[in-house]
Amino acid sequence: MKIATIKELLDAEVVCGNEYIDREMNSAFGSDMMSDVLAYANNQAVLITGLVNPQVIRTAEMLDMLCIVFVRGKTPTAEVVALAKESGMILLRSEKKMYEACGRLYEAGLGRNGDCV
Amino acid sequence: MKESLNLHFPVDGEDFTSAGQASVQVKKTLRQIGLHPEIIRRVSVAMYEGEINMVIHAGGGEADVHVYEDRIEIILTDHGPGIANIDQAMQEGFSTAPDKIRSLGFGAGMGLPNMKRNSDSLRIESTLGVGTTIYMTINL
């Protein structure tokens, strides 16, 4: 699924990294616990989270997760955005809550070939 | 002893924001020398969890990474309070992290289990009131 499609499905806005909008993503992981992301997420999955501290970017970096969607209308700080840009990531922001965001992407087929977590 | 590539990083225990920087640097270096992506992922996750632990629990410490032809060794040393019960600390979900850390998305009790899962060997030496050293090996 292209990130452009994820953006549409979640009525999201691009916070930074619009040049990566056509990247193809194959799975996703929704969580506010970074240790769980490290334990369970697939490499290169979309990260869906309501946490906006710099550790989110570092956690995502460890697993080559280059697309992060902040849900619940959370806005990353300038510091977080700067870190994301350094790592070549695209950050999206959606007003939707975690449950609905994950549901919409799952329903549309993201990660449903067995890679979904 | 065969030559190794040696990386050393101090880990600042005062600044949670900068925690993880050493692991990011190691990951970049391993990528530059062309190691297999799966190896890089395992080293990155194991080291990152260890680095975060040092900041959360021990007031920081030192991280050393040695890249040999056949393996990578990670040594994390701190002078924190030590681990009272290592078996208990290895249980998934068990955490002694303070509430503030949980609000930052950590403290789920997955750190040491994640380190074990991603390394080929994990050894913990710890003395209460003195500190802890973690030795991890990932075979190439």
Q: How many CB atoms sit inside 10 A of residue B69's CB?
A: 8
Q: What is the pLDDT of residues B75-130, one digit of tens each?
A: 999 999 999 999 999 999 899 988 888 888 888 888 999 999 999 999 999 999 99
This complex has an ipTM of 0.84
pLDDT for position A117: 46
Residue A116 is predicted with a pLDDT of: 46
Helix axes B111-118, B37-58, angle to 10 degrees: 150
User: Terminus-to-terminus CA distance in chain B, angstroms?
Assistant: 17
Residues of chain A with pLDDT under 70: 114-117
Greatest distance between any 2 Cα atoms in chain A: 36
Distance CA B114, CA B51 (A): 12
Q: How far apart are CA A102 and CA B1, in angstroms?
A: 51
Q: Tell me the nearest-neighbour CA distance from B19 into chain A, angstroms.
A: 8
* Six-digit token string for A18: 């619009």
Q: Could you report the per-residue pLDDT of B57-76, keeping only the tens digit for each?
A: 999 999 999 999 999 999 99
- For residue A111, the distance in angstroms to the closest alpha carbon of chain B comes to 20
Pairwise CB contact (< 8 Å): B19 & A79:
no
CB-based contact (8 Å) between A18 and chain B? no
- Whether B137 has a pLDDT exceeding 60, the answer reads yes
Query: Which residues of chain A are within 8 Å of residue B49 when distances are taken between CB atoms?
Result: 35, 38
A77 reaches B (C-beta below 8 A): no
